[in-house]
Structure 1
Amino acid sequence: MSFTGTVPTRRLGPGGPEVPVFALGSWNIWDRMEPDARVALIRRAAEVGAAFFDVASYNMGPHAEASRTDLYFGDAVREAGLGRDEYLVCGKLWLWEYPQTGFAEQMQTSLERIGIEQADTVVVGDYFGEIDIRRVVRDVQAEIDAGRFDSWGVNNWAAADLELALDYAEAEGLTPPTFAQLKYGLVRRTMAEGEYYGRWFAEGRLALQASDAFEGGILVGKTSPARKIGADVGGIREQIVAAYPRVAEIAASFDATPAQLGIAFCLANPATANVLFGASSVEQLDDDLGALELLDRVGADALREATAELWLDRAVNADGTWAPVPAPAE
């Protein structure tokens, strides 16, 4: 049955925008679609109140792949006829080459490629090694002051660095991060629900944006993905592939699809403001919308109880970084 309602909204953290609980990603999405399919998907997202798009320039660090996905998105959203007040954009600021490539340069490039003047929010992305967190906070504030976006979040930061950013922003009267984009879903829960990030969510200092809930498609049945997918944090991908039949079985017990189960699980966590996922057709988006009916029909507690066995990343280091999870006992 086709979805006929409107996707509900939640606040993307204190000081963040009111956003639909669905967001559509761009990595390996718009560049895999035909132009008409892009336009149709964007129009359908707007029709159901889910026109919130995570759009990045994937031409830095490990993403230096000459991707045109952001250009395709910009063309498609204009072809779809959406005014700028009819959709939300979450941009990305990468730390791979920072501060050599600063935030002002990154934002100018990204906004020009999409064809807009301002993002609604941004995520300050992945990094390895030493980063001057105080400088990051100050440089983000400079972009806010320049009018390029109003709020920001972090992507998979170490807990100690995020704590420093929150405390430094508060002490200096700067804009703190308001949400965390984390790998979160049926099989990866520890970072979001554990003692590090979990306490900030419980205190209301941050909201959770759940990303990669389908593990690059594995948890919706594409157990041998042909395209590049996200990092296997903790080295548990083989266990995730092995768990897919059980995911499908649990979903079927609720008369739902695996995608609906995965999204509904994320939304069952009250910390989750938004679920970011990739949909490459109207049909996929319409199936995903069924997660809302599933959550309403079954309830958050029952969904979490039914899927408790799927938590595969229980082990983390004492500082909040990831550690490999041992295989379950026979």
Structure 2
Amino acid sequence: MANIPAFKLNDGNEIPSFGFGVFQIPADGTTYKAVSDALKLGYRHIDTAAAYFNEQEVGKAINDSGIPRDQIWVTSKMWLQDYAYEDAKKAIDTSLNKLGLDYMDLYLLHQPYGKVDEAWRALEEAQKAGKIRSIGVSNMSPKLWKKWAPSFNVTPAVNQVEFNPYFQQQELRDVLADSHVALEAWAPLGEGNQDLFNEPVLKSLAEKYGKDVGQIILRYEHQLGVIVFPKSVHEARIKSNAEIFDFELTSDEMDALRKLDKGKGMHDPDAPGVADTLLNAFDIHAND
């Protein structure tokens, strides 16, 4: 795999701009194998979460890889059930224990509802204590960002949100740019949306560069400065997803892909009822 460029965060840390996500990969050995494969193929950035229930297998794959710890960027996320201050402190230690690591490179508040201010204070303290290198948020719309971020002592280093050519988050990117907050994409390939994959402009670029449509999409996002981590359990796909560093889209091609933006995604963090639904989604500690 080509050397993956790093992006500099607003706290001075450098994050690999391309990584591997494990959302919805089961913890029955599948996560362990997928992460092991990704690391063997040259990935050095793994994104998990307490609510994915696979932190343990991620940590085992990292610890078994033989790769020096400081060469792998590890992200996890706190579930909103744990946002009360004392619970949040415990949740950070639980993630570290499950991962089998002394520190996490990035830890995010997974959803922007409930006792966000208390949870964020716990993250700030854990960062000072060296348990987390960078701290950030996830699923914050412009409205939610403006509600919470101004009261934080430490500005989040990243905001991880839905992002793909159909939903390019222009308003949010403008808001985040002021504080140099990096945007990370979940669903960078639109969760395999067939309409997106059949867009003529993407198909013709794939033909021109001898790439597949997924690689064109990921290259576009990379050139926009968005951090991406597509997920797959298939070794060939894990390999091909990362083969986006040997070509560059022209500024005209970038402009053409900007026009695919529909301005809305599958998930609306501001929709009524979303907070309640997520707060009651499941019990993260059911198996503890």
TM-score range, shorter chain: 0.7 to 0.9
Q: Do the aligned partners of 2:80 and 2:110 also contact (CA within 8 Å) in 1?
A: yes
CA gap 1:34/1:176 in 2 versus in 1, 3 angstroms = closer
Q: Do the aligned partners of 1:159 and 1:320 also contact (CA within 8 Å) in 2?
A: no
CA gap 1:203/1:23 in 2 versus in 1, 3 angstroms = same
CA gap 1:43/1:242 in 2 versus in 1, 3 angstroms = closer
Tell me which of 23, 40, 61 is aligned to 1:76.
61
CA gap 1:154/1:249 in 2 versus in 1, 3 angstroms = same
Q: Do the aligned partners of 2:205 and 2:216 also contact (CA within 8 Å) in 1?
A: yes
Aligned to 2:221: 266
Q: 1:186: Cα distance to partner?
A: 1.2
- The one-letter code sitting in structure 2 at the alignment partner of 1:290 is E
Query: Which SS does the other structure have where 1:292 is aligned?
Result: coil
Tell me which of 15, 26, 30 is aligned to 1:19.
15
Aligned to 1:275: 228
Aligned to 2:285: none
Q: 1:249: Cα distance to partner?
A: 2.2
- The one-letter code sitting in structure 2 at the alignment partner of 1:180 is N
Q: Does 1:126 align with 2:111?
A: yes
Q: Does 1:161 align with 2:115?
A: no
Q: Do the aligned partners of 2:85 and 2:118 also contact (CA within 8 Å) in 1?
A: no
Aligned to 1:233: none
Q: Does 1:302 align with 2:232?
A: no
Q: Do the aligned partners of 1:182 and 1:210 also contact (CA within 8 Å) in 2?
A: yes
Q: Do the aligned partners of 1:56 and 1:92 also contact (CA within 8 Å) in 2?
A: yes
Aligned to 1:43: 40
Q: Does 1:55 align with 2:48?
A: yes
Provide the TM-score with structure 1 as the length reference: 0.71
Aligned to 2:278: none
Runs of 4+ in structure 1 off by over 6 angstroms are none
Tell me which of 110, 125, 137 is aligned to 2:120.
137
Partners of 1:136 and 1:280 in 2: CA distance: 32
Query: Which SS does the other structure have where 2:15 is aligned?
Result: strand
Give the unaligned 5+ runs of structure 2: 273-288
Give the number of equivalent residue pairs. 268
Deviations 1:60-86 (A, max 9, x none): xxx6xxx3x222222222222122122
Q: Do the aligned partners of 2:163 and 2:186 also contact (CA within 8 Å) in 1?
A: yes
- The one-letter code sitting in structure 2 at the alignment partner of 1:265 is Y
CA gap 1:44/1:148 in 2 versus in 1, 3 angstroms = same
Query: Which SS does the other structure have where 2:228 is aligned?
Result: strand
Q: 1:123: Cα distance to partner?
A: 1.2
Residues 1-330 of structure 1 mapped to structure 2, 5 A cutoff: 3=1, 5-11=2-8, 13-29=9-25, 31=27, 33=30, 38-45=35-42, 50-58=43-51, 67=53, 69-99=54-84, 102-128=87-113, 131-169=114-152, 174-189=153-168, 192-194=169-171, 197-216=172-191, 218-219=192-193, 241-246=194-199, 249-254=203-208, 255-270=210-225, 272=226, 274-294=227-247, 296=248, 298-299=249-250, 301-314=251-264, 321=270
Percent identity reads 16
Q: Do the aligned partners of 1:16 and 1:178 also contact (CA within 8 Å) in 2?
A: no
Query: Which SS does the other structure have where 2:41 is aligned?
Result: helix
Q: 1:311: Cα distance to partner?
A: 1.9
- The one-letter code sitting in structure 2 at the alignment partner of 1:283 is A
